C-alpha cells in the first residue's frame, strides 16, 4: 500500500469539499475500505434483471445466449419467438451463474407475442404493468415495518430490438420507447446486423438516432466520469449507438481459431469481431463496465420517480397538484401540514361566523334597549299625565269645597237671619193680640 497523498486533488475541489482534507502522516488503513466493500459484495452475491423486447424472429434468444455464453434459451426452455401467445405476455426466467467466485442471479424477462399481432396498439401495456408491478413490490417491501432482505426484482435494463429494415424506426418502436423511457433504461439494438453493409448500417444508425432525438426519447445515457480515458471510451460507444449486433449459438473454425459466428457461403460473420458488428461493445458495456450503473440509475432515478409519483398520489388524493413542488416531506408530514392548514381555515371560519353572530346579537340587544327606553319614556309620560290629572282633580275639589263652605256659611247666615226675623215676627204677633 502506498503512503498517503498530501495533495488536494482536482476532484476534491470540484466536489466542493468544505474543509481541507487532513494530511495523514502515516498509514491509517481506511484505504482498505474498498477491499472490505469488495469482500462483502462478493459474499452477498449480485442480481440483475434484463428485459428483451422485440418482434419474433429478431434473434433475441440467440443474442442472450451469446452474451452470457450459456444456454439460457434451449429446446427445453424455448425463446420468446417459440412461445407465441395470443396476447402479449411478460414472462421471466431466473438463472444462477458463477464466474471467478462471483455469483450472479440473472433474471431474463421476455415478451412473447410483442408486435406480432395484426393490431398492436397497447402491446406495451403489459410491459409497463410488469415494470410498475416490480416497482410497487419493491416499494411495499421497502415500506414495511419489519423489513428483511429485499430482493431486487426491478427491471434494470431493457434491450429493444429494432428490425434491420435499413430505413428508420417503425411507429411501434417509437411508441414503445416513448412509453417506457421513463421507467427503465432502454438500450436500442439493431438486430441481425449482418444483413446490413457497413455504409447501410451507418446510415441506418444515424437515421434512428435522429428519430430518437426528434421524439425526445431518453435512452440509457452513460454517466459522466472524471477519468479522461474513460470518457474517451464512452464517447466511442456513444458514436456507435444504436449498437448493431449479431448473435450466434454455433462455434465455427476460422483460420484455425474457434469463434462464434454465422457461416455463409460468402464468408463467416464473426460475433466477437468488432469490425463485423458491435457485439463486443454491447457485452463490455452491459456486463463488464456498466452493469452496476444500470442498477444504480434504475434505483436512483426510475424507481424514485415511480415512488414519488405514487406517494404524491396517495397524499394529495391525486387531485390537487398545486403544491407538487413542495414535495420534500414525507406523506405523514404532508398530512400534518394539511391538518394545520385545515385547522387554521376552520378557526378563521369560526371567527368570521362569530363576528357576524356577535354583530347580530348586538343589533338585537340594541333594539331591545331602544324599545325599553321607549317604553320607559311612555310610562313616565303616562305617569306624569296621570299626576297632572290628579292635581287637577285636587284643585277642583278644593274649589268645590271652598264654594261649598262659603255657600254653607252663607246659608247659615241666612238661616240665622231668618230665625231672627221669625222671632221678631213672632214677637210682633204676640203684641198684636194684645
* 149 interacts with another protein by CB under 8 A: yes
> Contact 172/143 with Cβ under 8 angstroms?
no
Alpha-carbon radius of gyration of the chain = 54
* 2 interacts with another protein by CB under 8 A: yes
Q: Which is nearer to another protein, 56 or 334 (CB)?
A: 334
SS3 state at 203: helix
* Contacting residues for 299 by C-beta, under 8 A, at least 6 apart: 152, 154
SS3 state at 7: coil
> Contact 93/107 with Cβ under 8 angstroms?
yes
- Nearest-approach distance from CB 329 to another protein, in angstroms: 6
In this chain, which of 206, 357, 406, 420 binds another protein, going by CB under 8 A? 357
Of the candidates 130, 214, 137, the one whose C-alpha atom is nearest the C-alpha of residue 174 is: 214
Kindly determine how many residues on this chain lie close enough to bind another protein according to the rule CB under 8 A: 138
* 377 interacts with another protein by CB under 8 A: no
Q: Which is nearer to another protein, 200 or 401 (CB)?
A: 401
- Nearest-approach distance from CB 13 to another protein, in angstroms: 12
In this chain, which of 19, 119, 199, 239 binds another protein, going by CB under 8 A? 19
Stretch that binds another protein, among 82-90, 101-109, 195-203, 236-244 (CB under 8 A): 101-109
Q: Which is nearer to another protein, 202 or 405 (CB)?
A: 405
CA 409 and chain centroid, separation: 119
- Nearest-approach distance from CB 111 to another protein, in angstroms: 18
CA 176 and chain centroid, separation: 23
Residue ranges in 173-192 that form contacts with another protein under rule CB under 8 A: none
Q: Which is nearer to another protein, 34 or 265 (CB)?
A: 34
* 402 interacts with another protein by CB under 8 A: no
Of the candidates 244, 191, 179, 189, the one whose C-alpha atom is nearest the C-alpha of residue 216 is: 179
* 283 interacts with another protein by CB under 8 A: yes
As beta bridge partners, residue 103 has 98
Stretch that binds another protein, among 4-12, 109-117, 195-203, 233-241 (CB under 8 A): 4-12
* 353 interacts with another protein by CB under 8 A: yes
> Contact 102/42 with Cβ under 8 angstroms?
yes
Binding mask 295-314 for another protein (x = CB under 8 A): -x--xx---x--xx-xxx-x
- Nearest-approach distance from CB 275 to another protein, in angstroms: 20
* Contacting residues for 54 by C-beta, under 8 A, at least 6 apart: 60, 114, 115, 159, 160, 161, 162, 163, 191
* 423 interacts with another protein by CB under 8 A: no
- Nearest-approach distance from CB 310 to another protein, in angstroms: 7
Stretch that binds another protein, among 162-170, 192-200, 212-220, 279-287 (CB under 8 A): 279-287
* 293 interacts with another protein by CB under 8 A: yes
What's the CA gap between 283 and 294, in Å, rounded? 13
> Contact 68/286 with Cβ under 8 angstroms?
no
Q: Which run of H or of E encompasses 103?
A: strand 102-110
* 433 interacts with another protein by CB under 8 A: no
Residue ranges in 21-40 that form contacts with another protein under rule CB under 8 A: 21-34, 36-40
Secondary structure string (H, E, C) spanning 369-426: HHHHHHHHHHHHHHHHHHHHHHHHHHHHHHHHHHHHHHHHHHHHHHHHHHHHHHHHHH
In this chain, which of 202, 231, 359, 386 binds another protein, going by CB under 8 A? 386
Stretch that binds another protein, among 127-135, 183-191, 262-270, 403-411 (CB under 8 A): 403-411
SS3 state at 254: strand
Angle of helix 303-315 relative to helix 331-433, nearest 10 degrees, comes to 10
Q: Which is nearer to another protein, 71 or 211 (CB)?
A: 71
SS3 state at 345: helix
Residue ranges in 312-351 that form contacts with another protein under rule CB under 8 A: 312, 314-315, 317, 327-335, 338-339, 342-343, 346, 349-350
Q: Which is nearer to another protein, 7 or 118 (CB)?
A: 7
What's the CA gap between 158 and 176, in Å, rounded? 11
* 5 interacts with another protein by CB under 8 A: yes
Binding mask 215-244 for another protein (x = CB under 8 A): ----------xx------------------
* 41 interacts with another protein by CB under 8 A: yes
- Nearest-approach distance from CB 261 to another protein, in angstroms: 14
CA 73 and chain centroid, separation: 39
Q: Would you say the C-alpha torsion 333, 339, 342, 347 has a positive or negative sign?
A: negative
* 133 interacts with another protein by CB under 8 A: no
Amino acid at each position: 500500500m502506498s503512503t498517503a497523498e498530501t495533495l488536494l486533488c482536482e476532484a476534491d475541489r470540484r466536489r466542493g469539499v468544505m474543509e481541507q482534507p487532513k494530511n495523514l502522516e502515516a498509514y491509517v488503513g481506511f484505504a482498505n475500505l474498498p477491499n472490505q466493500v469488495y469482500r462483502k459484495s462478493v459474499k452477498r452475491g449480485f442480481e440483475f434483471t434484463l428485459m428483451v423486447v422485440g418482434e419474433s424472429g429478431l434473434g433475441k434468444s440467440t443474442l442472450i445466449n451469446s452474451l452470457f455464453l450459456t444456454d439460457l434459451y434451449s429446446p427445453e426452455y424455448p425463446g420468446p419467438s417459440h412461445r407465441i401467445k395470443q396476447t402479449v405476455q411478460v414472462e421471466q426466467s431466473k438463472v444462477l451463474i458463477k464466474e471467478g467466485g462471483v455469483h450472479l442471479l440473472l433474471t431474463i424477462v421476455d415478451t412473447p407475442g410483442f408486435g406480432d399481432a395484426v393490431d398492436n396498439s397497447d402491446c406495451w401495456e403489459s410491459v409497463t404493468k410488469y415494470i410498475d408491478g416490480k416497482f410497487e413490490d419493491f416499494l411495499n417491501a421497502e415500506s414495511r415495518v419489519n423489513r428483511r432482505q429485499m430482493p431486487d426484482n426491478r427491471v434494470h435494463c431493457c434491450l429493444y430490438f429494432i428490425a434491420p429494415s435499413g430505413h428508420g424506426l417503425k411507429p411501434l418502436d417509437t411508441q414503445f420507447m416513448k412509453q417506457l423511457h421513463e421507467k427503465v433504461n432502454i438500450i436500442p439494438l439493431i438486430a441481425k446486423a449482418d444483413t446490413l453493409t457497413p455504409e447501410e448500417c451507418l446510415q441506418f444508425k444515424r437515421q434512428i438516432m435522429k428519430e430518437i432525438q426528434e421524439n425526445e426519447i431518453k435512452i440509457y445515457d452513460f454517466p459522466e466520469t472524471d477519468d479522461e480515458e474513460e470518457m474517451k471510451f464512452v464517447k466511442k460507444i456513444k458514436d456507435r449507438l444504436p449498437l448493431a449486433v449479431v448473435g450466434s449459438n454455433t462455434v465455427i473454425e476460422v483460420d484455425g481459431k474457434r469463434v462464434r459466428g454465422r457461416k455463409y457461403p460468402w464468408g463467416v460473420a464473426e460475433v466477437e469481431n468488432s469490425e463485423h458488428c458491435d457485439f463486443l461493445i454491447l457485452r463490455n458495456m452491459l456486463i463488464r463496465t456498466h452493469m452496476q450503473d444500470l442498477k444504480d440509475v434504475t434505483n436512483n432515478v426510475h424507481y424514485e420517480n415511480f415512488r414519488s409519483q405514487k406517494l404524491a398520489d396517495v397524499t394529495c388524493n391525486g387531485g390537487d397538484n398545486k403544491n407538487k413542488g413542495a414535495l420534500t416531506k414525507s406523506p405523514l408530514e404532508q398530512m400534518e401540514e394539511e391538518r394545520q392548514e385545515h385547522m387554521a381555515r376552520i378557526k378563521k371560519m369560526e371567527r368570521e361566523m362569530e363576528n357576524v353572530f356577535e354583530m347580530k346579537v348586538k343589533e338585537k340587544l340594541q333594539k331591545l334597549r331602544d324599545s325599553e327606553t321607549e317604553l320607559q319614556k311612555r310610562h313616565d309620560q303616562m305617569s306624569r299625565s296621570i299626576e297632572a290629572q290628579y292635581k287637577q282633580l285636587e284643585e277642583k275639589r278644593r274649589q268645590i269645597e271652598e264654594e261649598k263652605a262659603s255657600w254653607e256659611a252663607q246659608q247659615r247666615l241666612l238661616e240665622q237671619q231668618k230665625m231672627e226675623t221669625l222671632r221678631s215676627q213672632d214677637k210682633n204677633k204676640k203684641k198684636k193680640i194684645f
